[in-house]
Amino acid sequence: MITEDYAVTFACYNQLDYTRRCVESLVASGIDLGRVIAVDNGSTDDTRAYLASLNLGGRIFNKDNLGCGVAWNQGALLLQSEWTVIMNNDVVVTQSWLEAMINAARRNQLRIVCPALIEGDLDYDLAAFSADASSRMKDALRIGIDAGHAVCLAVHASVWMEVGYFRPTPKLFGFEDTLFFNDVRKAAIRTGMTGASWLHHYGSITQKAMKQEKRLAAREGLGGRDNKDLLEQTWIERKINKMRKLNRRRRWRREELAAYRMTMHGLRETGQFRWL
């Protein structure tokens, strides 16, 4: 039984099959559904009926698609806890994923912590893989804002008090996490990613569906081009930060491959793992 003071919240917009798999994995991992808040952003499939059938800690049914930022804030505020897990609905979690994340955060003085992840096809034995990977990489840690990701992150309550919540602007269309991590960077809040906790991420399923609805190409972004102006960085500053981010990730990849023969971020495609 998980004894932490925690809450888990996710937003969803259609894609019922993925939401069901996510919830079933939460239950299988020992998460109390009474600590889970689901926020539906105007689904038109059977998502709402499914959520209504669950003994959740709370459910919010928005009339329209208000975006991730609004939904995440609604969930975090409805059940305020020491640790709030913000996660996608197209993920499958594994045994002890939450305990491992929070233990790593406490052990390394992190106030935001993310799990390691495999993205892409779930055509492998996730339970067996995660048991081996979390044991092999239990001490692996990426420290820094570039280690954070919005697929799943556990946020300590003190972070909300210091930098605030996500930008509640629907037209950001997924840029909310970039802005949040930028605020976290400016506040020098210690952030990390742990190899002791693993999950599978199918890969931005809702974002892909929304692009199809808007008839956008896969390479196009949902948000406006002016979203980057909200970072309050010059063009050259953004380029320099992007290069530094790529260099850090390359260094992490080299070091992890040398130490563990795998990394904390993998892509599963054509039956193989590709380490990122």
188 domain residue, yes or no: yes
The predicted pLDDT at position 67 comes to 93
169 domain residue, yes or no: yes
CA distances from residue 205 to 12, 71, 120, 209 in whole angstroms, order as listed: 10, 17, 10, 6
The predicted pLDDT at position 238 comes to 86
Q: Is the pLDDT of residue 191 over 60?
A: yes
Least confident among 11-20, 58-67, 197-206: 197-206
- Calculate mean pLDDT across residues 25-51: 97
Global confidence as pTM: 0.92
225 domain residue, yes or no: yes
In this structure, what are the phi and psi dihedrals at residue 20, rounded to the nearest 5 degrees?
-65, -45
Q: Is the pLDDT of residue 205 over 70?
A: no
Least confident among 11-20, 164-173, 214-223, 240-249: 214-223
Cα 33 from Cα 51, distance rounded (Å) = 11
Q: Is the pLDDT of residue 213 over 60?
A: no
In this structure, what are the phi and psi dihedrals at residue 85, rounded to the nearest 5 degrees?
-95, 120
Q: Tell me, what CATH number does 14's domain have?
A: 3.90.550.10
Cα 187 from Cα 94, distance rounded (Å) = 31
1 domain residue, yes or no: no
Least confident among 12-26, 110-124, 162-176: 162-176
Q: What percent of the chain has pLDDT over 90?
A: 81
72 domain residue, yes or no: yes
271 domain residue, yes or no: yes
Residue 195's domain comprises: 6-275
The predicted pLDDT at position 174 comes to 83
Q: Is the pLDDT of residue 41 over 90?
A: yes
The predicted pLDDT at position 228 comes to 81
Instruction: Kindly report the average pLDDT of the chain as a whole number.
Output: 92
Does residue 96 contact residue 197 with C-beta atoms inside 8 Å?
yes
**pLDDT band, very low/low/confident/very high, at 15 (cuts 50, 70, 90):** very high
Quote the number of domains for the chain: 1
**pLDDT band, very low/low/confident/very high, at 209 (cuts 50, 70, 90):** low
113 domain residue, yes or no: yes
Q: What percent of the chain has pLDDT over 70?
A: 92
219 domain residue, yes or no: yes
